[in-house]
Structures are given as structure tokens and as C-alpha cells.
Chains A and B, each alone.
Chain A
Amino acid sequence: MTVANTEVDAVAAQGYKYGWVTDVESDVAPKGLNEDIVRWISAKKSEPEFMLKWRLKAFRHWLTLLENDQHPKWANVHYPPIDFQDVRYYSAPKAKAKLDSLDEVDPEILAAYEKLGIPLQEQKRLAGVAVDAIFDSVSIATTFREELSKHGIIFCSFSEALKEHPELVRKHLGSVVPYTDNFYAALNAAVFSDGSFCYIPKGVRCPLELTTYFRINTAETGQFERTLIVAEEGSYVSYLEGCSAPMRDENQLHAAVVELVAHDNAEIKYSTIQNWYPGNEEGKGGIYNFVTKRGHCKGQNSKISWTQVETGSAITWKYPSVILQGDGSIGEFYSVALTKGYQQADTGTKMIHLGKNTRSKIISKGISAGHGNNTYRGLVRVMPKADNAWNFTQCDSLLLGDKCGAHTTPYVEVRNNTAHLEHEAFTSKVDEEMLFYCSQRGMSNEDAQSLIINGFCKEVFQKLPFEFAVEATRLLELNLEGSVG
């Protein structure tokens, strides 16, 4: 850290801690998008034929959406039109051929991860966490693979999965989020370059927390990763992703797709700590985070739980959803979304009840500060065969200051009259009474505010794996520094 101290200090003063750039030689695609680029990406990754065909279909579909101006417009976010020909769709650090171990990873990149607080080497071993590190478009390293493979668990980069387990990928790819799903899902399917793949065999309880860290490094590059997690009958896995990016003046596009499949009695717990660069104080730069995440509770009594802490990105547009197909399956969504400066977030979930006795729970906590604009948008849909479906929704908003906004837009569609739905929503300001109470006990305003906000978010933080709950708490504090009125 000594070398970078001044740099880091400078960054901290500007409020974003992860804004530095790592100097590595990269293999980048020229700007713009056409069929040749799609073929080029596929060739770069020596992909099987079916993959290229799928990408091309997706690309052609995306073109029709683009021509018909079919990008999503309903979200409560505002930004100038994106020039998709001005984006680079692939960037990879130049590697010396294939890496056999972490020792062969470019030390600059390892140092970059150290700086992010993600030592790929040793420390995480103690914490029992397996890490897949994604740098720009490719996976750099996946730790603990051998140990996991003893249990029959596959945890590797998407590229490797395509080489080593093409049949598994082929079976599930696009089964939850087809490329026709939406504009950004189509774009992702055409150009996605890497991501994590995780397969938990029947009856196995994954002994480690699986983690992927995403890092955008190269300028003018979009990041399009794809994560696929398949939990076979009776298995369990807890997976966490973390994200960060350098500070740059131009907006960068991040359009990821996550697909989860849970079979009978399987459980997937998916946590996200999203801290992409949010732009500067005037709202310049930052990541456009347009993400499609969906889980499929395919089997009976399966369970998928999304927990997200969203503090970064200039614009966030994401609705991690669960399709509750198996009878008795459970979907959960726990979210903390913080918008400050000029950040905009339109986020929420969709719970689609198809099977009988399916249950879903939604806890959303929106925090707005500065000129931040936070919208909860959620859909609970109960289909005709979903007897005795149950949903509880609670969306709370907390406002800091008077220039920010909070909006709640719940949609409910019920086509079965045995359904039981509850909805609660509160908007509150961190009021003077509370702050005064804390300061009367000796706390500074900043300490008081972070205490109050952590209390507000507690129900969500409790759902995070322990060490990440600590990280999330720190991240919120860091993000709210200086936003006390």
C-alpha cells in the first residue's frame, strides 16, 4: 500500500476509494459492435460452435430491438442516449498463455486485488471463501478449485466451463434469462466475455462461501459478464459478488446477466455488494449498471434468496427476480440501495408465483442523500394455479436532506383468490429528534447517522454472510461520509 498512499488519499477525498487504474497491458477489441466483433470475441475464447451460434442469434435479435428503439424506457432514471458503437466490448489483460496457478498471474493484477482488499492468495483461506476474480472481460483466477472439486462442486470462470463442461452450460444457458428477455439481456448474450459458473451436485452442501469480484479497469470498456449457478436436488450454496471500477469522466456500461436454477429442495443464497464508481459530485462519469438477474425455483421446496447492497453506479437498473415454479418454493429479496450525489437507482424485484404454496418475501430499504433518486419497483404476480401463495412486501425509504427523492412503485397481479399478500411502506427522514438523542449521548453527527442508517438496514445486513456484513457496513459509512446535513 505504501506506493499508492498519496493516490489513495486523493481518491478518498473525492469519496470513492476504488477509483485507481491498474497499469496492465491489455488485449482490447476495437470500439463498436457488429457480427465480426461477436465472432472475434467467440474466437478469442475458443468457444464451441453452439455458443457462437447462440451469440449471433442474440446479436441479430438485439439489432432489431435497437432499430425499433426497444431499450427500456419505463424506469425512473434519466441519461443521454448511449452510443453503442462508442463502446469497447472486450478487454483482457495480456496473459503469457495459460495460467496454472496464482503465481503466474500478473503481479500488477494481484496487487490491484490486494488494494481492493481481496487478497487472492492466503487470507481468504482462513475465512473459508473461494474467490473468482474477474478483471475487465476475463476471469483472472479462481481459488480453492481443488478443494471444491472433492465435493463434486464446479466453480470456475464461464470460459472454462464452456471448455470443460459444455453440456452443462448448454443445458442451462439462457434457460432462465433468454436472450429475447430484454434489450440488455440480448446485448449481454451477444458479447458477454466471462463470468462465473457454479454447479453444486445433488445433496452437496457447499462448504465455502463462493465469491466473484468484478473489476472494470480499461477505459471506454463495457463489462458484460454472465453468471450461471445450478443447484441440484437437495444442495445448498451461498454465493457473493463484489464490484468496483476506476474513476473516469465518461460513463461506462455494465450489463450483466445472472441465472440461477434451484432443483427440488435446493437452496441458493446470492448476495451482491455493488460498489461501481458512481460518478463525481457533479454527476459526471460513473457506471451504468443495467443488470438482469433471475432465479428459477424449478423444484419443489426449493429456495432462492437475493440479498443486495447497492451503493455504487451512476445509474442502477436491476430487478433480481424469482420464478416460483416448484410447489412450496420460496423466493426472497433483501435490498439496501443507497443513492447520493446524482446517483439514480430504479431497483426492486419480481416474484412470479406459479406453484402451489409458494412464498415470497421482499424487504427493500432505500436511502437517498444529496440529489440521489431512489425508486423501488417491484412486481408480485400470482398465477391461476398458485394456490395459497403468500407474499410479504416491505419497502422503507430514508431521506437525508431535502434535495433527494424516494419513490415506491409496487405492482400486484393476482389471478388466484387464495393468495395472501401484505404490503408495508414507510418513508422517513433521519429526524432531528433521533440525531439529537444520539448527540446528547456524546456521539458526533456522523457517528449518529451511520448508527441510525445501520439500524435501518439491519434486516438486510443480517442476511449477508458475516464477513461481508461487516464490509457492507463499512461501505455504507464510507459512502455517507460528508453527507450529513
Chain B
Amino acid sequence: MLEIKDLHAAIDGNEILKGVNLSVPKGQVHAIMGPNGSGKSTLANALAGKPGYVVTSGQVTFLGQDLLAMAPEVRARAGLFLSFQQPVEVPGVRLDQFLRAGYNAINKSRDLEELDPIKFDKLLRRQAKIVEMDPAMTRRAVNEGFSGGEKKRSEILQMAVLEPRLAILDEPDSGLDVDALRIVAGGINQLRTPENSILLVTHYQRILDYITPDAVHILVNGKIVRSAGKELALEIESEGYDRYEESGKELLQPAG
């Protein structure tokens, strides 16, 4: 699904990603964990093609295609979705209109049916259940006056509607209370299929109590310093990132 080879990326000339290697196979959920400032969000945004996140070297293949050669909207149409850590407000634009515009743009690029507002509303109502969202909320302006939890739920609703092949979830758990976390994580679980993959970026282990990853990668100082199974998250929970931060490079090989 996704193959990242020696990815280097910079913001304003400062190198943040310093050679990331990662492979996410079809149907798997991979968690990227790391301390603040390790480059987790940079990785997510660079993969989605956010302006200002400059890839200086490396290769990324997505479904066999050169991801880095594509414009952000082309990546989205190819099936790459980013759930934003802090999604922006779009004043005056209703969430349902916003999402239908995206849905139809993607479908159009694939020669699939573009939905009129009535048909789209049906789809939206169905998918809103996944994140236990009142459909009335989709008639509010995008993220305008949304609480932290509503923003995260709205992001997962968008994932549910757009049905991406690869969803990159940038801290979908940050700022959530236990109930909201359960709803968001439950929504993500319902969207797992053998055909799609999820790259879940998180600072804390707690969301992984709900979502069982196939692999966990520790990102420190722009590099993946360790990769292992789901048990790695628990180890982080008890020991923290300190040992990786102190001695970064030596731990490149899986530690015993």
C-alpha cells in the first residue's frame, strides 16, 4: 500500500524528517508514536502534500504510484486521506456541502456517480452513525464553533464518507475525554477493512487500548528508531520515550 524510502523533509529550510523508512501493507493498521517535535505530524503532512512541507530527498510509493509527484488533490483522489490534528474552520461553508464537494470531486476523477444533495444526505446520515454524530451537525459551518471532540468526530466522519485506501490519522485522540475517545476509536475500528490501511499517529498509548495495531513504530528526531508489534506501545506507556531520545541512533536495530 505505502512504501516510504529514506524520506527527508524540511519546513522553512529546517530538516525535520531525516530518513524515514516505512512500509504499510494492505489491510494493516500501523501506529507511529513519538515525543513532541519528533516529526510525526510532519510525516503525516508531507505524505498528504501540504504546501511548505518540502521533501528534500527520498521516495514514497502509494498503490504503486509515485506519491510525491502528485498534487495534494490528486493524492486525495488516489485514495489518501489525512485526518487533521487541528482542522481549520471554513466560515459559512456547511460541513455537508464541503464534504459533498470533496466526495464528488473524487468520484468524478474515477468516473463514478456524483451525488446530488439528497442522495448525498442519505449517505451522510448513514455514516454519521459510525461516529454517533447528530446529522444536524453536518449542516453547521465546517469546524466553526466545534468542540475539540466534535472536530475529531467530524474528521472521522469525513473518512467514513470518502472511504480512503489509506487513512493517515494525525493524533485523532488528542484532547479527547474518555467518552469521546471511545466514540472516535470505535468509529475508526468500524472503518477497518482488509482492503484499506491506516497510519495512526499518536503521542499516547491509550487510543491503542481500543485500536489494535499490526505494528508500532517509534519516531524520534526525524527517524524511526524502533519497530515492533502492539506490545511496543505498552512499553512506551510504562517507560516513556526518554531512552530513545537520549541515545537515538544506537537503537536503530531492534533492542532486546
Point out residues on A near B: beta carbons under 8 Å: 431-434, 436-445, 447, 451-452, 454-459
Contact = CB atoms under 8 A, between A and B. Distances in A.
A441 B162 contact: yes
Interface stretch (B92-100, B119-127, B176-184, B217-225): B92-100
B98 A441 contact: yes
Contact of A439 (B76, B97, B109): B76
Contacts of A437: 84, 87-88, 90
B92 A454 contact: yes
Contact of A447 (B81, B88, B101, B141): B101
B106 A451 contact: no
Among B90, B141, B158, chain A packs the most CB atoms within 10 A around the CB of: B90
B90 A443 contact: no
Contacts of A436: 48, 50-51, 72
The 10 closest A-B pairs by CB, nearest first: A441-B102, A455-B92, A455-B93, A458-B92, A442-B106, A442-B105, A439-B73, A442-B76, A439-B72, A442-B102
Nearest to B76: A442
A61 B101 CA distance: 56
Contacts of B158: 441
A456 B50 contact: no
Chain B binding site: helix, strand, loop or mixed by DSSP?
Answer: helix
B175 interface: no
Interface string B194-205: 000000000000
Contacts of A445: 73
Contacts of A442: 73, 76-77, 102-103, 105-106, 109, 162
A441 B76 contact: yes
Interface string B42-76: 00000010111000000000000000000111011
B117 interface: no
Q: Is the interface of A mostly helix, strand, loop or mixed?
A: helix
Interface residues of B, number: 31
A443 B108 CA distance: 10
Interface of B: 48, 50-52, 71-73, 75-77, 81-82, 84, 87-88, 90-93, 97-99, 101-103, 105-106, 109, 141, 158, 162
Given A434-B90, A441-B98, A442-B102, 4 more contacts: A437-B84, A437-B88, A445-B73, A457-B92
B105 A447 contact: yes
Contacts of B99: 441
Contacts of A447: 101, 105
A443 B106 CA distance: 8
B188 to A, nearest CB: 18
Contact of B52 (A432, A444, A455, A456): A432
B73 A444 contact: yes
A455 B141 contact: yes
A436 B75 CA distance: 12
A297 B62 CA distance: 65
A437 B90 CA distance: 9
Q: Which of B77, B101, B141 has the largest number of chain A CB atoms within 10 A?
A: B101
Contacts of B97: 451
Contacts of A441: 76, 98-99, 101-102, 105-106, 158, 162
A464 B99 CA distance: 25
A440 B103 contact: no
Contacts of B50: 436, 440
A444 B108 CA distance: 12
Nearest to B141: A455
Nearest to B99: A441
Contacts of B52: 432
A455 B81 contact: no
A456 B162 CA distance: 25
Nearest to A436: B50
B157 to A, nearest CB: 12
A454 B81 CA distance: 25
Nearest to A431: B88
Nearest to A441: B102
Contact of B98 (A432, A433, A451): A451
B101 A443 contact: yes
Contacts of B101: 438, 441, 443, 447, 451
A444 B51 contact: no
A25 B87 CA distance: 59
29 contacts: A432-B52, A433-B88, A434-B90, A436-B48, A436-B50, A437-B84, A438-B90, A438-B98, A440-B48, A440-B50, A440-B75, A440-B82, A441-B158, A441-B162, A442-B76, A442-B103, A443-B73, A444-B73, A444-B105, A447-B101, A451-B90, A451-B93, A451-B98, A454-B92, A454-B93, A455-B90, A455-B141, A457-B92, A458-B93
Contacts of A432: 51-52
